[in-house]
């Protein structure tokens, strides 16, 4: 009997019936998340319903020395929830109760499987909402948002998940249930946990901040003939001291895809569209709207539309929010890239992406959160054409090089996961990575929580960062391997 | 299962929260994305296992995922093809086979359905017993309307009142025709009052929807050809359908009959329209009289998701003076009826029915309006289970009919279901 089989037997004993999946055909449906280029069939899948069950699973994993990976809705785009063939996939999709809504204190307590949008829907009638809004908000889970520190179009003004999580109940890799709170004195452990991509434990209850819905919201769609003019408008808007709730840009190819998918009716002939949303007190929004409109016209916008109603606003956003998946209409396959550049470097980086397209004969659709320089190039390819996937992957990687060269980052909001761990050394020195590893080991000395993610090379805990000398005592004892 | 259609899925997961079984069970293999993955496994050579077949059978075919999908995956085609494969390759348990044989020998045939009137009345009383024998039989007994109105014999032609604006065919359907005959009568009257000659071919049969949605391809094609022939001869501008499931299937006839170009062409020549869709295109002519009543409108999946008809019925209802339209929460989630689903998958169907009943009752509306006979029976049964007694259910056609004829709103949804048989529970 293998370790995994022994563990499965124990799991079956502590979980409800139907909560342990071992059938090979069923297991395979969990082989990837939203990023399908990386696949691994999990050793076993569990579907716990309570914190106690999650803790029991983690304790059993630790007891058996088996790695575990947490998964929410499986929409991640960096392979953060890629399973381990020798491990347990802990799926939180049955933990989707909204535990408490406390409007006077502006907070809600939810289980990790609750979708991002479900929180807003639960409090909308009372004039509140949950601010971070990743494009997959109707499906992505709040647990996944916490793991990835997800952003969204509106994080330009309102910040990322980390700014909206007040506390979390987590199961540590030891199997202990611990409460982390933003209000705790001392080290900001909650801050460390948010965005840790499942390497520090599994969140089982999350207390989120509820935000008051703004008095006024105005959404404006500006069409430009080319992407440079759009980029110029973005810089000019920010330079004018306006902080919009969101500034989004899409290029011609992305517009074509969105048009094919949701018939969003963006202006014909647009080489780029800018979606600018302003919110806040009515007088302020009106004042800013006038400024934004003038700047767009000065930058060469040939058509400007303003959403007069909630439906019209939804129609404008629909094109933008469905853009990733919509690209499936114009290309058999694609890579969603996620990088950040300083806003001022936008035109140069976009020109660089253009050059890469020509050099490799690969099309790239650009969709991005222009306000904070978060690019989402969609690199299109067809598996039926030999070599095209490889070229697409090269282009995708070189786009990240461009971002780093211009002082940016290899990820804005999708996380490092398994997909970008290899790019970490392009941003960080050995010392930097070693220091991060020390933090990780403080939570997970055995290295069982989502191993193989974030860091380019697995390391052993207790190993001092820096130059390696001699053989590690654990390796010598035959207890561990070094790669 | 066409690998090209499977490839369209980019695994984004936008379909997950719209899928009734994912909402119930929260597991990947009972979501559209997971089912497409299973289809992919099968096309790549994994034999169809019992587990796989179970997950395909558990799909309601509600097509909410088709609405949600930004990549345009044709899940509707995929699941139809998959069901046919399941029928060919999967050996069901003997009791499942027996229930299926019973359903497919009964439902598509009106005369046989008519013969069921008496057994149905007994069936309600015997429900607990039947439930123990087989959950599907129990579900059948529970769903059966208590008090079916007497059959209405419609003439082959109902002439337009006033100037003629169109000549239309009317599909009378199997379950609609037998259990809800008043709906067909109301449909014909509304169409006539709106200036249509209504042709009602007496020799029409089942449209084939049940067979098509259950992977019984040959049977579906046979029913489709017959329906195409009957309405082809009727020489009509459009065939009007008042049952959502029938309409959605008939709109795909050209695809169903694609193997035979001559039939496919004949099918393609028919203009199939849902009643609400047709009336919206035609525009109102007859005077709407006040109908002071509050109604909750239920989106039938095969109308909203499969045909994209959501606004038209609501607009028609709102145009009735005095009528107050209320929305049901989670409108896009299936009620669990889904053709034969509540008979073959009674447990899941009941859970979905209970969920829907709760939300329908929360509207506090006097009448539930639904454009599909299956949904009407399913929700009525779920409301009875919830202890809500007999809910008044009416078809959009009946509401319009009452308004056009200036009837009292009290007549809406009084039968079936109302009356003596209901106290026995």
Residues 353-372 of chain B whose Cβ lies under 8 A from any Cβ of chain A: none
A31 falls within a domain: yes
A contact test, residue of B10, B24, B69, B311 with most A CBs within 10 A: B10
**Taking CA atoms, what residue in A is nearest to B14?**
A139
Q: What's the rounded mean pLDDT across residues B93-117?
A: 83
| Residues in CB range of B417: below 8 A, 6 or more apart | B145, B146, B147, B380, B390, B391, B393
- Which of the four pLDDT bands, split at 50, 70 and 90, describes residue B415? low
**Taking CA atoms, what residue in B is nearest to A258?**
B70
Q: Are residues A252 and A396 in the same domain?
A: yes
A372 falls within a domain: yes
Domain-terminating residue out of A91, A124, A147:
A91
Q: Are residues A148 and A236 in the same domain?
A: no
Q: Are residues A202 and A223 in the same domain?
A: no
Q: Are residues A366 and A232 in the same domain?
A: yes
C-beta separation of B208 from B224 below 8 A: yes
pLDDT digits (tens, 9 = 90+) for B8-58: 898 999 999 999 999 999 999 999 999 999 999 999 999 999 999 999 999
pLDDT digits (tens, 9 = 90+) for B64-82: 999 999 888 999 999 999 9
d(CA B226, CA B355): 38
Give the residue carrying structure tokens 């800018």.
Answer: A274
Contacts of B16 in chain A (CB under 8 A): 73, 139
C-beta separation of A213 from A264 below 8 A: no
Q: Are residues A207 and A243 in the same domain?
A: no
A23 touches chain B (CB under 8 A): yes
Q: Are residues A298 and A400 in the same domain?
A: yes
A416 falls within a domain: no
Measure CB to CB from residue A322 to each of B7, B22, B70 and give the nearest one: B70
A320 falls within a domain: yes
Distance in Å, alpha carbon of B16 to nearest chain A alpha carbon: 7
Question: Tens of pLDDT along chain A (483 residues)?
Answer: 899 999 999 999 999 999 999 999 999 999 999 998 899 999 999 999 999 999 999 999 999 999 999 999 999 999 999 999 999 999 999 999 999 999 999 999 999 999 999 999 999 999 999 999 998 999 999 999 999 999 888 888 999 999 999 999 999 999 999 999 998 999 999 999 999 999 999 999 999 999 999 999 999 999 999 888 898 899 899 999 999 999 999 999 999 988 888 888 888 889 999 999 999 999 999 999 999 999 999 999 999 999 978 888 988 888 888 887 788 888 888 888 999 999 888 888 988 999 999 999 999 999 989 888 999 999 999 988 999 999 999 999 999 999 999 999 999 889 999 999 999 999 999 999 999 999 999 999 999 999 999 998 755 555 544 444 455 555 555 555 544
A contact test, residue of B38, B70, B90, B348 with most A CBs within 10 A: B70
Domain-terminating residue out of A91, A110, A129:
A91
**Taking CA atoms, what residue in A is nearest to B74?**
A329
Q: Are residues A76 and A120 in the same domain?
A: no
B43 touches chain A (CB under 8 A): no
A119 falls within a domain: yes
* 8 Å CB contact of B34 and A29: yes
Q: What is the predicted pLDDT for the residue at A161? A: 97
- The complex's ipTM? 0.89
Q: Is omega for the bond preceding B416 within 30 degrees of 0, making it cis?
A: yes
A263 touches chain B (CB under 8 A): no
The residue among B310, B266, B296 whose CA lies nearest residue B365 is B296
Residues 314-343 of chain B whose Cβ lies under 8 A from any Cβ of chain A: none
Q: What is the predicted pLDDT for the residue at A468? A: 43
A262 touches chain B (CB under 8 A): yes
d(CA A341, CA A334): 22
A212 touches chain B (CB under 8 A): no
B70 touches chain A (CB under 8 A): yes
- A141 DSSP 8-state letter: B
A417 falls within a domain: no
pLDDT digits (tens, 9 = 90+) for B191-233: 999 999 999 999 898 999 989 988 899 999 999 999 999 999 9
Q: What is the predicted pLDDT for the residue at A474? A: 56
The residue among A148, A111, A153, A147 whose CA lies nearest residue A134 is A153
Contacts of B9 in chain A (CB under 8 A): 328
B40 touches chain A (CB under 8 A): no
Measure CB to CB from residue A139 to each of B9, B17, B34 and give the nearest one: B17
Q: What is the predicted pLDDT for the residue at B423? A: 34
Q: What is the predicted pLDDT for the residue at B108? A: 83
Q: What's the rounded mean pLDDT across residues B283-310?
A: 95
| pLDDT at residue B326 tops 90 | yes
* 8 Å CB contact of A328 and B37: no
The CA-atom distances, in angstroms, between B389 and each of B125, B386, B419 are 16, 8, 11
A30 falls within a domain: yes
Q: Are residues A107 and A71 in the same domain?
A: no
Q: Are residues A220 and A203 in the same domain?
A: no
d(CA A188, CA B307): 53
Count of structural domains within chain A: 4
Which residue range is the domain that position A459 belongs to? 423-476
A contact test, residue of B71, B74, B327 with most A CBs within 10 A: B71
Q: Are residues A303 and A265 in the same domain?
A: yes
Q: Are residues A248 and A364 in the same domain?
A: yes
d(CA B144, CA B422): 11
DSSP string, A435-482: HHHHHHHHH-TT--BSTTSSSSS---TTPPSSS--S--HHHHTTS---
A32 touches chain B (CB under 8 A): yes
Domain-terminating residue out of A186, A212, A238:
A212
* 8 Å CB contact of A74 and B13: yes
A261 touches chain B (CB under 8 A): yes
* 8 Å CB contact of A325 and B70: yes
Contacts of B23 in chain A (CB under 8 A): none
A318 falls within a domain: yes
* 8 Å CB contact of A329 and B37: no
Measure CB to CB from residue A29 to each of B28, B49, B72 and give the nearest one: B28
Distance in Å, alpha carbon of B330 to nearest chain A alpha carbon: 11
pLDDT digits (tens, 9 = 90+) for B118-176: 777 777 777 888 888 888 888 888 887 777 777 778 999 999 999 999 999 999 988 88
Contacts of A324 in chain B (CB under 8 A): 12, 70
* 8 Å CB contact of B14 and A139: yes
Domains assigned to chain B: 3-89 (1.10.1060.10), 96-143 (no CATH), 157-279 (1.20.1050), 288-423 (3.40.50.11810)
Distance in Å, alpha carbon of B200 to nearest chain A alpha carbon: 38
Q: Are residues A269 and A346 in the same domain?
A: yes
* 8 Å CB contact of A328 and B13: no
Q: Which residues pair with residue A366 across a beta bridge?
A: A377
Measure CB to CB from residue A30 to each of B28, B46, B49 and give the nearest one: B28
Number of DSSP helices (H) and strands (E) in chain A, helices first: 17, 19
pLDDT digits (tens, 9 = 90+) for B399-410: 999 999 999 999
Q: What percent of chain B has pLDDT over 90?
A: 71
Q: What is the predicted pLDDT for the residue at A478? A: 58
């Amino acid at each position: 009997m293998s370790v995994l089989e022994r563990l499965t037997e124990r799991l079956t004993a502590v979980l409800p019936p139907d909560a342990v999946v071992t059938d090979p055909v069923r297991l395979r449906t969990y082989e990837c998340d939203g990023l399908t280029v990386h696949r691994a069939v999990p050793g076993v899948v569990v579907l716990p319903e309570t914190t106690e069950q999650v803790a029991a699973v983690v304790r059993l994993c630790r007891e058996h020395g088996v790695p575990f990976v947490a998964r929410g809705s499986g929409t991640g785009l960096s392979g953060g929830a890629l399973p381990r063939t020798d491990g347990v996939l802990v799926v939180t999709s049955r933990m989707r109760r909204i535990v408490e809504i406390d409007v006077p204190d502006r907070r809600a307590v939810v289980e990790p499987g609750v979708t991002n949008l479900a929180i807003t829907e639960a409090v909308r009638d009372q004039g509140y909402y949950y601010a971070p809004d990743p494009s997959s908000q109707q499906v992505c889970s709040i647990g996944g948002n916490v793991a990835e520190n997800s952003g969204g179009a509106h994080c330009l003004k309102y910040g990322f998940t980390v700014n909206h999580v007040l506390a979390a109940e987590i199961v540590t890799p030891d199997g202990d249930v611990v409460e982390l709170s933003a209000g705790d004195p001392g080290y900001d452990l909650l801050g460390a946990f948010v965005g840790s991509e499942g390497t520090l434990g599994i969140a089982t209850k999350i207390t989120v901040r509820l935000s008051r819905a703004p008095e006024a919201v105005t959404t404006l769609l500006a069409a430009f003939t080319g992407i440079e003019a759009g980029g110029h408008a973005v810089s000019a808007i920010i330079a004018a001291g306006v902080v919009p709730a969101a500034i989004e840009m899409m290029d011609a190819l992305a517009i074509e895809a969105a048009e094919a998918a949701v018939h969003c009716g963006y202006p014909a002939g647009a080489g780029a569209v800018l979606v600018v949303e302003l919110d806040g007190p009515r007088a302020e929004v009106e004042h800013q709207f006038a400024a934004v409109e003038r700047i767009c016209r000065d930058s060469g916008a040939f058509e400007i539309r303003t959403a007069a109603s909630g439906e019209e606003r939804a129609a404008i956003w629909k094109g933008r929010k469905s853009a990733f998946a919509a690209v499936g209409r114009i290309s058999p396959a694609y890579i969603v890239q996620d990088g950040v550049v300083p806003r001022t470097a936008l035109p140069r980086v976009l020109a660089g992406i253009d050059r890469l397209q020509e050099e490799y004969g690969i099309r790239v659709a650009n969709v991005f959160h222009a306000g904070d320089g978060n690019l989402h190039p969609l690199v299109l390819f067809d598996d039926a054409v030999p070599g095209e996937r490889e070229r697409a992957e090269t282009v995708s990687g070189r786009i990240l090089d461009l971002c780093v060269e211009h002082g940016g980052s290899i990820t804005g909001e999708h996380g490092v996961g398994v997909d970008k761990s290899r790019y970490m050394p392009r941003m960080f020195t050995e010392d930097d990575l070693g220091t991060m590893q020390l933090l990780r080991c403080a939570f997970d000395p055995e290295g069982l929580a989502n191993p193989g993610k974030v860091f380019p090379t697995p390391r052993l805990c207790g190993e001092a960062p820096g130059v390696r000398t001699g053989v590690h005592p654990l390796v010598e004892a035959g207890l561990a391997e070094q790669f | 299962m066409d690998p090209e259609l499977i490839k369209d899925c980019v695994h984004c997961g936008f379909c997950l929260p719209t899928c009734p079984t994912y909402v119930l069970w929260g597991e990947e293999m009972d979501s559209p994305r997971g089912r497409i993955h299973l289809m992919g496994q099968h096309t790549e050579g994994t034999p169809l296992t019992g587990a796989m077949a179970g997950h395909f059978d558990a799909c309601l075919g509600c097509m909410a995922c088709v609405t949600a999908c930004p990549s345009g995956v044709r899940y509707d085609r995929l699941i139809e093809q998959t069901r046919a494969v399941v029928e060919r390759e999967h050996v069901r348990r003997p009791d499942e086979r027996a229930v299926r044989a019973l359903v497919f020998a009964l439902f598509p045939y009106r005369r046989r359905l008519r013969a069921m009137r008496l057994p149905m009345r007994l069936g309600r009383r015997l429900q607990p017993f039947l439930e123990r024998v087989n959950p599907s039989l129990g579900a059948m007994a529970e769903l059966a309307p208590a008090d079916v109105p007497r059959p209405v014999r419609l003439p082959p032609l109902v002439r337009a009142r006033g100037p003629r604006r169109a000549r239309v065919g009317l599909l009378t359907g199997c379950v609609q025709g037998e259990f809800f005959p008043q709906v067909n009568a109301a449909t014909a009257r509304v169409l006539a009052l709106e200036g249509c000659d209504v042709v009602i071919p007496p020799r029409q049969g089942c449209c084939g929807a049940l067979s098509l949605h259950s992977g019984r391809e040959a049977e579906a094609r046979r029913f489709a050809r017959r329906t195409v022939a009957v309405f082809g001869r009727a020489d009509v501008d459009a065939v009007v359908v008042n049952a959502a499931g029938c309409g959605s299937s008939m709109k795909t006839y050209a695809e169903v009959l694609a193997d035979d170009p001559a039939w496919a062409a004949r099918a393609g020549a028919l203009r199939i329209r849902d009643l609400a869709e047709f009336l919206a295109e035609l525009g109102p002519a007859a005077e709407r009289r006040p109908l002071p009543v509050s109604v909750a409108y239920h989106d039938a999946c095969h109308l909203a998701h499969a045909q994209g008809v959501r606004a038209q019925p609501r607009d028609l209802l709102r145009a009735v003076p005095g009528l107050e339209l209320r929305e049901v929460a989670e409108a896009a989630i299936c009620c669990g009826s889904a053709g034969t689903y509540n008979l073959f998958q009674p447990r899941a169907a009941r859970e979905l029915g209970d969920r829907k009943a709760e939300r329908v009752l929360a509207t506090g509306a006097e009448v539930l309006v639904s454009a599909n006979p299956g949904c009407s029976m399913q929700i009525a049964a779920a409301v009875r289970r919830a202890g809500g007694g007999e809910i008044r259910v009416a078809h959009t056609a009946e509401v319009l009919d009452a308004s056009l004829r200036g009837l009292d709103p009290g007549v809406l949804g009084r039968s079936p279901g109302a009356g003596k048989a209901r106290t026995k529970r």
